[in-house]
Amino acid sequence: MSPTPSPVIVVAPDSFKGSASAAQAAAALARGARAVAGPAATIIELPMADGGEGTLDALLATWGTEPLTAETTDALRRPCTARYGLSADGSTGIIEAAEANGLPQVADLDLRPLDADTYGVGLIAARLLDAGVSEILLCIGGSATTDGGTGMLTALGARFLDAQGSPVGPGGGALSSIARVDVKTLHPRAATISWRIAVDVDNPLCGPRGAAAVFGPQKGATDSDVATLDAGLAHLATVLDAEAAAKQPGFGAAGGLPLALVSLVGAETVPGAELVSTAVGLRNALAGADVVLTGEGRLDTQSLGGKVVDAVRRTANPDTRVVVIAGAVQLDAATCREAGLTAAFSIASGPAALPELQADAERLIEDTAAQACAALGLGSGTARTVGP
């Protein structure tokens, strides 16, 4: 009888928010798989993210590079320090916009939704352009801003002018005053590189499902502010001759940040999990995989609509078994089967408070991965692990 081939196992989880980063979760899944599959198994670690919080850390872990820091400004243009990243070959930069324009950075002040802007994000982008990157991956969740990306483009040299030819003030409250845009002083490399913007919502720019109406209140906007911001974004789309683009899903993300970037430098919006999948080489990794272990804090219907689990299940080959390990599993077995998932396991072995699970998350993820691999009948054999 010929020996059973050693399995190829890919571990590609999202973070377990508040409990384990994607890199920590991937390492825990790998340990659990290795304990059962044995030393001959090939285990590939690919920390994942959906373009929101944790995307920077997930990509840096996969690339094997350390975060860089830049002196920039927060959403109210106060000096701050933000992290960003570079691929190992220096060709691709990654910005997690909330490092500069995120809500936590301005939590010490009363929220000022009409004034907050994305200028600090642009300062980081300018640094990457000066470093010679050929691509920037921009992850935009968690913003405190609703400025249509005007602040970011201002930092890159564009001028948003009123009817008298004077620069308008910062923030979404000034958008309705913009009469024209001067790009003569735009950074010389801004329109020559590839920009990909990770979005994790499908909201259009304006209207009842738009940036201001849906996300403005959490950024401190009153009903009056929402009306001002929504009208300003619609006006900006007209000035940029981008009314059609503004109706597309995703343009309402991060206060309409994609609008100016798409219009002025040719940026492309992509689902966040798809962007990360491409950046880390998920398709190639899964090409020869027998099993893929993925996971997140909670597996529910949203997981199947653009999140990491969705990206993994859609990318995996039909004969690759896809197993989800999650803090909580809220999909029944039939739904999992219909979605192409082999099985889903919760790390909670019994009644437990959330703080207990969070405190012991990595051990529980590891143990559940071992249980899952045993249930799949993975054999043992001389281990090698591929990953960061």
**388 in any annotated domain:** no
Q: What is the per-residue pLDDT across 78-131, written as a single tens digit (0 to 9) for each?
A: 999 999 999 999 999 999 999 999 999 999 999 999 999 999 999 999 999 999
Domain termination residue (choose one: 271, 294, 310):
271
- Alpha-carbon distance of 62 to 173, in angstroms, equals 40
pTM of the model: 0.82
Per-residue confidence (pLDDT) for residue 52, from 0 to 100: 80
Residue 114 Cα distances to 10, 98, 225, 234, 373, angstroms: 45, 17, 7, 15, 52
Per the structure, the complete domain to which residue 69 belongs is given by 53-271
Is the CB of residue 224 less than 8 Å from the CB of residue 114?
A: no
Do 132 and 263 lie in one domain? The reply is yes
383, part of any domain: no
* pLDDT value at residue 61: 85
Claim to verify: residue 206 and residue 251 sit in the same structural domain: yes
Residues of the chain with pLDDT under 70: 1-5, 350-358, 379-388
Note whether 79 and 148 are same-domain residues: yes
Residue 1 lies in a domain: no
Q: Which of 224, 126, 238 is nearest to 175 (CA)?
A: 238
pLDDT for res 388: 57
Identify the pLDDT of residue 383.
Answer: 47
In the listed set 271, 295, 314, which residue is the last one of a domain according to the structure? Answer: 271
| Per-residue model confidence (pLDDT) at position 302 | 84
